[in-house]
Amino acid sequence: MSTLGASEVAKLLQEFGQRTAFRGGNPYRARAYSRAAENLFALAEPLEDIVAQNRLREIPGVGDAIAEIVTKLHRTGRHPALDAMRKEIPAGTLELLTIPGLRPEKALKLYKEFGISSVEELEQAAKQDRLRNVKGLGSALQSKILKGIEVKRSGEGQRHLHRAAGLLELAEAQLKRSRLGISRVTPAGDFRRGCELIRDLSLVAQVPDIGSAGGIQGNQSQLAVHLTDKRHYGAALLLATGSEEHLNQLRRSLLPEA
């Protein structure tokens, strides 16, 4: 059986955290899984190397317990605790936890009392004013839910600047520990442009030999690493940073139509 990469394990660990949140108890435990999952999404090294070298605890938020879970998920794609939790609540209900301001106990109540297991079903129920008179919900939460859904959709796939900074710093440290002889690393993309919400995590790294790309996570994670040599560093940084509109303007100015 083939092993799972960082992104695949991160998604399962994220699910682990969401299902743990539905069970109640210590809320910090569920958040710990989610934070560790996000750090896995931004790995600059192949997960299999980190597991083989027993270095999982170098990843922020990964202690002994989470390292055991990550290792099992990486090697088998499953974990007994996750299998057990999947029998309790359908997968669609986890989507409710992505709505800002909607706590797990409220999401669970919505599922148990209304059978709501998707954002679309919840939005319809709120717009139809079906939540107003339910004990523990009410009109205030109904309005908050609709606003939260709007926020969720507008920020889909984006991270706040401070969180992106932490992930990029982690990736930079991993790159500099690699055997590629990296001498310089610079954040690119949305982060370098100073956007408040970051959609793409991107780094430009200088290597002595542009052909030595082994050991870079690449498109297996949510991090893009652009390897280049010293001579082409500036151009690589420009291409990895500029918006599509800006790059098109540059192309038109450099290559005017005949």
Q: Which sequence spans correspond to the domains of the chain? A: 1-88, 92-156, 159-254
Share of the chain above pLDDT 90, in %: 28
Q: Quote the pLDDT of residue 212.
A: 53
For 1-88, give the CATH class.
mainly alpha
> Closest Cα partner for 70 from 4, 119, 135?
4
159-254 shares the fold of 1-88: no
Output the average pLDDT for the chain: 85
User: Does 152 score more than 90 pLDDT?
Assistant: no
* pLDDT mean over 208-225: 62
Amino acid code (one letter) for 100 = P
SS in 3 state form for 191-242?
Answer: HHCCCCEECCEEEEEECCCCCCCCCCCHHHCCEEEEEECCCCHHHHHHHHHC
What CATH superfamily classification does 159-254 receive? Beta Polymerase, domain 2 (3.30.460.10)
Prediction pTM value: 0.75
Amino acid code (one letter) for 125 = A
Selected from 3.40.718.10, 3.40.50.720, 1.20.120.1200, 1.10.150.20, the CATH number assigned to the domain covering 92-156 reads 1.10.150.20
Q: Quote the pLDDT of residue 217.
A: 46
Q: What is the number of alpha carbons within 13 Å of residue 183 lying toward its C-beta?
A: 9
